[in-house]
Amino acid sequence: MIIGFLREKDIFENRSMLLPEHVSSIIKLGFKILVEKNYAKKLGLEDEMFIKVGAEVKSESDITSLSDIIIKISGKNLDSYKFKDGTIVITAFFDKDNDKLFKLKNDNNIKIFGLNYLPRITRAQAMDVLSSQSNLAGYKAVIDTAYEFSKALPMMMTAAGTITPAKYFIVGAGVAGLQAIATAKRLGAVVSATDVRLASKEQVESLGAKFVFVDSDENLETEGGYAKEATKNYKKKQEELIKQTVKNQDVIITTALIPGRKAPLIINEEMVLSMKPGSVICDLATSQGGNVAFSERDKVIEKNGIKIIGYSNYASRTSYSASSLLTKNIINFLTLLVNKDSKTIDIDYEDEIIKGVKI
């Protein structure tokens, strides 16, 4: 079995789906590994490091023409590659809005898997790219806001006087939000958080943060644990609650995303302008339109003395750690595709996980 790893072409993508220290684990599954020239150069890793541990360095065309399985982070622009018939393409993040790709897929019998569509079941947790990367995004968002904020985060009692702790408000208590809460608390900030899912209350409070919640009978959580889009009535109540909350905050981090949908606008223009000059906002949802008015994708802007951070690929800002977790995610998924005894590709298309991720 030949498995090929293609380099990412996006200028904002610094991650890789393979690190040298994990090559042996994939070889043990029965694979011959090909990596594209300069595969992990953005991580400071030279091709020689992959060669030393048993991988081969090839050109893009060699990899696409020889490999049984192709691995990429992004599922965008796959139609620009010339895959051989029957190739299995595994991507960490796949966008289904690509008519050209579906024609290519059907014409060449290409099978595509998008790991961002994994079902939220216990057995799939070790392959969950959304969770592994969101966790790092929440951490890095706090680090970036602390850097941009001109005051210290923890309370400091000195002979010259007391410095009051920074106030952090986290919007969305999923994986990224909970990690942001935990990181901000470790740095000494006073943290509050909100989420449309009442089930988040216990998790938020267990981390030492105050839970800010709209009192409602609506169930805004899907069976898979994701947030649903709120009704107009709920949105009106939520807007008023957040409006009263944000004006007293020093730092806001928004993490609200609905899979496959445009991100909800939660912090509107009035709310942004109500904050004190010197405050910082980090919008983790700019890749899907953004949660914050004025935020711009992949830019840090200033509005009325308030800094708004809008990086669209936050996990890539901790690229080595993110790559390590992605590699482990993909290794765990590959074990589903391989017959351990015969060392051949043997896919059970009735498996719940395979059904979920097959495009």
H or E, element range at 251: strand 251-254
N-terminal to C-terminal alpha carbon distance within the chain: 22
Backbone angles phi, psi at 299, to 5 degrees: -135, 155
81 belongs to the catalytic site:
no
Q: How far is CA 185 from CA 36, 178, 327, 334, in A?
A: 41, 11, 29, 37
The single residue of 67, 74, 131, 132 carrying the catalytic annotation is 131
Q: How far is CA 283 from CA 54, 126, 245, in A?
A: 41, 27, 17
Q: Which residues pair with 173 in a beta bridge?
A: none
Angle of helix 129-148 relative to helix 175-186, nearest 10 degrees, comes to 40
Give the distance between the most distant pair of CA atoms in the chain: 74
The single residue of 120, 186, 234, 351 carrying the catalytic annotation is 120
For residue 11, give both structure tokens: 């200028």
48: left (phi over 0), alpha (psi -120 to 50) or beta: alpha
47 belongs to the catalytic site:
no
58: left (phi over 0), alpha (psi -120 to 50) or beta: beta
Among 63, 62, 280, CA closest to 170: 280
- Write the DSSP assignment of 260-318 as a string of letters: TSPPP--B-HHHHHHSPTT-EEEETTGGGT-SBTT--TT-EEEETTEEEE--S-SGGGG
249 belongs to the catalytic site:
no
The single residue of 24, 59, 125, 244 carrying the catalytic annotation is 125
107 belongs to the catalytic site:
no
The single residue of 68, 95, 216, 226 carrying the catalytic annotation is 226
The single residue of 128, 144, 195, 250 carrying the catalytic annotation is 128
Say how far apart CA 335 and CA 346 lie, in whole Å: 10
In terms of C-beta density within 10 A (0-12 exposed, 13-18 middle, 19 or more buried), how is residue 143 classed? middle
Q: How far is CA 182 from CA 132, 136, 247, in A?
A: 16, 12, 22
120 belongs to the catalytic site:
yes
The catalytic residue positions are 120, 125, 128, 131, 226
